[in-house]
Amino acid sequence: MCGIVGYIGEENATPVLVNALKKLEYRGYDSAGIAVLDEEGLLVRKAKGALKFLEEKISTEIIRGSMGIGHTRWATHGEPSDINSHPHTDVAGKIAVVHNGIIENHAKLKNWLEAHGVVFRSETDTEVIAHLIDFHYNGDLLLAVEETIKRLEGSYALAVISENDPDRIVAVRKDSPLVIGAGKGENLIASDVPALIEYTRDVYYLDDREIAVLFRDHVDFYDEDGVPHSKELFHVEWDVSAAEKGGYEHFMLKEIHEQPKALIDTLRARIKTYTTKSINLEEVGFDASWADAGRVVITACGTAWHAAMVAKYAFEHFARIPTDVDIASEYRYRNPIIDPKNIFIIISQSGETADTLAAMRMAKKADQGLLR
């Protein structure tokens, strides 16, 4: 999960982008970045870590420009770093892209682009999008985006700007949220309403594979084939606090009710409905080796342990594989029986739970079979 924003209007874009990203920082703490089109061209600034590090980086600069895009990242492909931070650009630095989602066929696309002479700078799946748009660009940014998304497999919410198209932002989504804010003399993009509500309460909710082209004074909408259509405008009645909570009274309630959607979003891009009518989970470690698994062992602590208990019921019900769940702080002290055919799964809410990491190291040292 990442957060993306965009602004086109009459104001200086940079403070608007940074302020909107603050409302979305819960969607990613690994890095943040902006791309602004000013008088000299496309200017990109990004930094590893929390948004405050980006703010510090640009605090001594005067960045002018009334159109730009921004991103706050939760790393999926490529470690958190300045290079892997969004926005990503084409080789010439003329096109910039921010992306929320996962491109499942990015490796295949990267190989194809490299065979055509493209040199990659980052380890991300997103960079292929910038290069594909450049490959298809022939003076029409909308058409280049249309051709690009035809080649993408997975989930995405994209905002794209080009130095050669200084009057528009192109946005599109599939399986990842994207909202358009309609203001007076300005229009905005964000992954969630809280980033927009300070500037406008009138919003458009993009549908899957729907494309929006934002100008300063209007927004055009197209289907994936470029056919234009009209769109209903919604007025947000919540106050800022309610918007941040998605209409729920408490954040805890919001998170509880988001669980089904989180599961759907995780699986949606991996369900191959139109081809084999199967679920492909190889990228996240679920491959044919599971067929030989004698047992699944899950270790976790706290709320992650409760998630593991749900997983136990799912594995045993659907996969018919015996599953044990251990509290990580106890697992490494009880001299557990380790079988090479076991599948060992570690769950951590933060990735830094000391007992869970210690259990993982213990399993690795004991040559636990299929470590996940």
CA distances from 297 to 26, 293, 359 (A): 31, 11, 11
Q: What average pLDDT does the chain have?
A: 87
Nearest-5° Cα angle at 265, 161 to 23: 55
Q: Which residue has the higher pLDDT, 148 or 320?
A: 148
CA distances from 138 to 115, 141, 205 (A): 20, 8, 29
Residue 263 within any structural domain of the chain? no
The residue among 17, 131, 12, 11 whose CA lies nearest residue 63 is: 12
> What's the number of domains the chain is made of?
2
Judgement on whether residues 120 and 22 belong to the same structural domain of the protein = yes
Give the three-class secondary structure for 44: strand
* Residues near 365 by beta carbon (within 8 Å), at least 6 away in sequence: none
Tell me what pLDDT residue 18 has: 96
Backbone angles phi, psi at 300, to 5 degrees: -170, 170
Q: Mean of the pLDDT values across residues 244-266?
A: 75
* Residues near 275 by beta carbon (within 8 Å), at least 6 away in sequence: none
Judgement on whether residues 333 and 222 belong to the same structural domain of the protein = no
Tell me what pLDDT residue 77 has: 67
Q: Which one of 216, 244, 272 terminates a domain?
A: 244
Query: Percent of the chain, pLDDT > 90?
Result: 55
**CB of 270 within 8 A of CB of 280?**
yes
DSSP output for 95-119: EEEEEEEEETTHHHHHHHHHHTT--
Range of the domain at 226: 3-244
Find the range with the poorest average confidence among 24-28, 265-269, 339-343, 367-371.
367-371
Backbone angles phi, psi at 77, to 5 degrees: -100, 120
pLDDT band at 276 (very low <50, low <70, confident <90, very high): low
Q: Mean of the pLDDT values across residues 202-211?
A: 94
Residue 256 within any structural domain of the chain? no
Six-digit token string for 223 = 């289907």
Judgement on whether residues 200 and 345 belong to the same structural domain of the protein = no
Six-digit token string for 268 = 């949606």
CATH number at residue 198: 3.60.20.10
Judgement on whether residues 303 and 176 belong to the same structural domain of the protein = no
